[in-house]
Amino acid sequence: MNLFNLPLLFGAPQGAGAQPASGMEQIISFAPFILIIAIFYFLIIRPQNKKQKETQKMLSDLKKGDKVVTIGGVHGTIASIKDSSIVVKVDDNVKIEFSRSAVASVTSVAKDEKPEARIEDKKSETDVTSTES
């Protein structure tokens, strides 16, 4: 192969006839990238951050007597709470200590925690039954 043929392989350089792209053309060429970034933000990043905040709030609001389910699927009632762990009562004489982050969900809240919420629930139930009649 001859070294004089290499420029032919790579294509001829742009001559003086080519004009530089205007500012609007450059913005239009970046529009698909901006659109993809916006889609990733609204469909992936934002919901993940929202879920993480809800999980942190749930873990910080754990109280003694709450019924919880751990990530491993263990169902039980919180017997005591320490700084970074909780003790879950699984059976009458069985207690297991878990890290707080091992709690997947709270299935029911302690009975004596929010009597006002129960009163409001009863009011909403009577409102629903009165509108159904």
Mean pLDDT confidence for 46-68: 94
Q: Which of 12-21, 92-101, 117-126 has the lowest mean pLDDT?
A: 117-126
CA–CA gap between residue 66 and residue 13 (Å, rounded)? 73
- Whether the per-residue pLDDT at 86 is higher than 70: the answer is yes
Mean pLDDT confidence for 18-32: 77
Residues 6+ apart with CB under 8 A from 88: 68, 70, 74, 76, 77, 78, 79, 95, 96, 97, 98
Which of these CATH numbers, 2.30.30, 1.10.287, 2.60.40, 3.40.50, describes 63-108?
Answer: 2.30.30
Reported as a pLDDT band with limits 50, 70 and 90, residue 1 is low
Residue with tokens 């005591």: 80
Q: Which of 28-32, 61-65, 92-96 has the lowest mean pLDDT?
A: 28-32
Q: Where in the chain are the domains?
A: 24-61, 63-108
Residues 6+ apart with CB under 8 A from 97: 85, 86, 87, 88
Torsion of CA 112, 118, 120, 121, to 10 degrees: 160
Reported as a pLDDT band with limits 50, 70 and 90, residue 111 is confident
Average model confidence (pLDDT) for the chain? 79
pLDDT for 109 = 83
Q: What's the predicted TM-score (pTM) here?
A: 0.58
